[in-house]
Amino acid sequence: MRVTAPNGTIHEIPAELRYPGPDTKSHKTWIAYAIAYEGRYHSWPVWNQTVGGQICNFIDRVGAEVAPRIAVHYVRRVQEDFIVREMHPVRLLQQNAEKWATQCQTGHTMTSTRARQADQLDANASVADDAMGILLAARAAAGEGGAC
């Protein structure tokens, strides 16, 4: 099967992989995922009944129009340790469909480092709010003490 990418690159997908045909719901999304996967791992992903169901469920959750773009984002841009160690399987694409859709739409990926930084920032803001509350309470108490 020959597929021409939007940038004009022609991809030759081996026939023995038996990917879903052009008339199927999963075709565009699967082809986008498979090409991105092959580009990253230099191996074509496995297609079977389980994977087909996961791709169809993923499409149902995010919509057929954006599913191919999200699948490519997932393979090319998501660098989370667990996802990379698992080699970007379709089951995790499907499992976290809305997360990948949001990351694709915003252009921001979440890493464990970024999540820790956000958590630390929130903790620091909370401590600062507490300190400001104590300071304001102390000033109010001093003002009520009848200072000259």
pLDDT tens for the 148 residues of the chain, in order: 888 877 888 888 888 888 888 899 999 999 999 999 999 999 999 999 999 999 999 999 999 999 999 999 999 999 988 999 999 999 999 999 999 999 999 987 666 666 676 567 666 767 777 778 888 888 888 876 555 4
User: How much is the pLDDT for 83?
Assistant: 94
User: How much is the pLDDT for 132?
Assistant: 80
User: How much is the pLDDT for 137?
Assistant: 82
Cα–Cα distance, 116 to 51 (Å, whole number):
33
Those residues with Cβ within 8 angstroms of residue 74's Cβ, 6 or more apart along the chain or in another chain: 33, 36, 83, 88, 93, 100, 104
CB atoms within 10 A of CB 31: 20
User: How much is the pLDDT for 110?
Assistant: 62
Nearest CA among 7, 49, 42 for reference residue 26? 49
